[in-house]
Amino acid sequence: MQKKLRIVTWRECLYALAAVVFIVVQVWLDLTMPDYMSKITELAVIGDAANMGAVLRNGGLMLGCALGSALSSVAVGFFAARIAAAVSYRLRGGVFDKVESFSMEEIGRFSTASLITRTTNDIMQVQMVISMGLQVMVKAPILAVWAICKILTRRWEWSVVTAAAVVIMIAMMLFILIVVFPKFRKVQKLTDNLNAVTRENLTGVRVVRAYNAEAYQQNKFARANDELTNTQLFTSRAMAIMSPVMTLIMTGLTLAIYWIGAYMIEGLTSVAERSELFGQMAAFSGYAMQVVMAFMMLAMIFIILPRALVSVRRIAEVLRTETSIEDGPLSALPEGSPVGTVEFRHVSFRYPDASEYVLHDVSFKAERGQTVAFIGSTGSGKSTAINLVPRFYDATEGEVLVDGVNVREFTLRALHDRIGYVPQRAVMFSGTVESNVAYGSKTGREFTLEEVKEAVRVAQGKEFIEEKEDGYRAHVAQGGTNFSGGQKQRLAIARAVCRQPEIYIFDDSFSALDYKTDRLLRTALKEEAGGATSLIVAQRIGTIRDADLIIVLDEGNVVGKGTHDELMKTCEVYREIAYSQLSKEELENSMGGDRNA
């Protein structure tokens, strides 16, 4: 299911090779300029007007080197940007694809806010370090080594002061690496936390306002924001030291080179020797500045590299996570298999890292066309039970069978093609009514507008949809905020109906409907999809009273199993639920009406 992610293609490798070639050309040109400066300085010290042509010629060559270096820098930037953009593009796709393959267990392990940060902010950090890395991380060591080799051929006095400057810069970088790097890891975690608080506030804005909890939310956000800000201030202040220290080192090194040069020139009497030493001093000053520039580049990388390394680890953590729900070998049913059946054989389940079981030894079988309902108190395991059928989780013990085959044996696509799932909380995507009802595909086939209209009619949504100006092309806001709760539930049901599945799963999907719409919808479903098996979780007795089999759960245990009439006689828990919703007379009348029918 998860495609193997290729971070770098052969084309990016060629781009990287071309970038390295241009970097080498740029370094060669940068280190050739001091040689021309040396010749110009020597000629200027001699002061012979006959040498003016040589000065102009060397000056022109020096300008040519500067222009060539600038053009090489542009070429390196172009290739680096192409590589960084391509890698981040594939990383975003890879992380998204990986998250799509996650079961509820993996998503719960990372949290939604963290996965969003890893897909956006973390990948941006990687893109930035790749873009700058090719230009700086490759160039800096080449430039430093080449310049040092040039320096070693000059006076040892100048080499000593340059070496001292390099030692100071390395010591400063090590200090920053040791002290600041751990803080960057904390920054990313605090960013996750800030995103979580912001997302929670936005999704729950109605509740926040209804309870006048704006001050509480502001304080909660302020705490998360302050913690992130203080940590970022620490890292920024630590990094801010680098720029003035580098400037101080560069200025001090230049001063030291000229001071030593002046001391050596003082002992020379020959104009030729003085002009040669002046030239060497000018060239050495240029080389020394290139060494310092190389370390300044490394310092720049040290500003972004620690955070990028943290981001790389966080992205890799997602990509390397093994999904607990894997495809089985079957994409089609064996010949002669029953169609539309669902069976639980001694199924028990507990959530990962939990010690207590949520379900205990649940067994039942739903034949094709039957309706099996689950009822019980809050937290009794109703939704958990039906979530095992589409393999949102796998049973800890026992077997869940669809069409006589263990669900673990199916490919996830083949399994989901058999199921029409309506979640407890109706989920709408930004788009149109048509795109939401015709969401996804079955066996690679897209749904037609006529199929969408029929599904909406069965779900009792035709009236409110066709009243809208654009009808089935009407806009649906993100989360379906421009529709009521009942309308969203009916659209979610229509989405399941449109698939024409073998098995319907309704996870408390009728709770927002009034009794009349509930009854009409279930009647239409029975008429149009009578051959499909239905698994229903419900809180209302009226919704499940006509089910072929009702399973009563209490703290994960099956405490009753049978039809409505049978459970009213044999199951105390069911009777308590029934009498809490309907009067004794209503229940007796309905039972009598059923018997007379």
> Is 150 part of a structural domain of the chain?
yes
The confidence score (pLDDT) of residue 5 equals 59
CATH number of the domain that residue 446 is part of: 3.40.50.300
The confidence score (pLDDT) of residue 1 equals 42
- Strand partners for 503: 419, 533
Same domain, 45 and 175: yes
Q: Grade residue 298 by pLDDT with cuts at 50, 70 and 90.
A: confident
- Tell which residue, 159, 135, 138, has the closest CA to residue 149: 159
Q: Which range has the top average pLDDT, 303-312, 522-531, 553-562?
A: 553-562
| Distance (Å, whole) CA 144 – CA 101 | 46
Same domain, 278 and 400: no
> Is 328 part of a structural domain of the chain?
no
Of 472, 500, 528, the domain-final residue: 500
Q: Is residue 400 predicted with pLDDT exceeding 90? A: yes
> Percent of the chain, pLDDT > 90?
17
- Tell which residue, 110, 126, 127, has the closest CA to residue 189: 110
> Is 151 part of a structural domain of the chain?
yes
Of 292, 319, 346, the domain-final residue: 319
DSSP codes, 305-317: HHHHHHHHHHHHH
Q: Is residue 269 predicted with pLDDT exceeding 70? A: no
Same domain, 243 and 349: no
The confidence score (pLDDT) of residue 588 equals 60
The confidence score (pLDDT) of residue 407 equals 92
Same domain, 170 and 47: yes
> Percent of the chain, pLDDT > 70?
90
Q: 298 or 481: which carries more pLDDT confidence? A: 481
- Tell which residue, 487, 496, 443, 495, has the closest CA to residue 465: 487
Domain count, the chain: 3
> Is 325 part of a structural domain of the chain?
no
DSSP codes, 267-329: T---HHHHHHHHHHHHHHHHHHHHHHHHHHHHHHHHHHHHHHHHHHHHHHHHHTPPPSS---S
Same domain, 264 and 242: yes
Element (H, E) at 524: helix 515-528
Same domain, 352 and 471: no
> Is 493 part of a structural domain of the chain?
yes
Q: Is residue 177 predicted with pLDDT exceeding 80? A: no
Does residue 363 contact residue 346 with C-beta atoms inside 8 Å? yes
Same domain, 255 and 274: yes
> Is 558 part of a structural domain of the chain?
yes
Which is it for strands 405-406 and 397-402: parallel, antiparallel or unpaired?
antiparallel
- Tell which residue, 192, 227, 53, 32, has the closest CA to residue 113: 192
Provide the residue range defining the domain that includes 114: 10-319
Same domain, 25 and 51: yes
Beta strands in 358-457 (DSSP E): 359-366, 371-376, 397-402, 405-406, 419-422, 431-432
The confidence score (pLDDT) of residue 526 equals 83
Residue 321 backbone dihedrals phi, psi, to 5 degrees: -70, 125
Same domain, 495 and 536: no
Of 319, 351, 374, the domain-final residue: 319
Least confident of 101-105, 371-375, 386-390: 101-105
Residues contacting 488, CB < 8 A, separation 6+: 426, 428, 480, 512
Span 436-463, average pLDDT: 84
Q: Grade residue 586 by pLDDT with cuts at 50, 70 and 90.
A: low
> Is 426 part of a structural domain of the chain?
yes
Tokens of residue 31, six digits: 């280190």
CATH number of the domain that residue 110 is part of: 1.20.1560.10
The confidence score (pLDDT) of residue 290 equals 77
Mean pLDDT, rounded, of the chain = 82
Helix 242-266 and helix 271-319, axial crossing angle in degrees, nearest 10: 160
Span 64-88, average pLDDT: 90
Q: Which range has the top average pLDDT, 74-83, 130-139, 183-192?
A: 74-83
The confidence score (pLDDT) of residue 397 equals 92
> Is 595 part of a structural domain of the chain?
no
Does residue 382 contact residue 300 with C-beta atoms inside 8 Å? no
Helix 584-596 and helix 572-581, axial crossing angle in degrees, nearest 10: 110
Tokens of residue 491, six digits: 């659209």
Same domain, 425 and 507: no
Tokens of residue 80, six digits: 């680096």
Same domain, 346 and 286: no
| Distance (Å, whole) CA 139 – CA 70 | 14
CB atoms under 10 Å from CB of 241, counted, come to 12
Same domain, 427 and 549: no
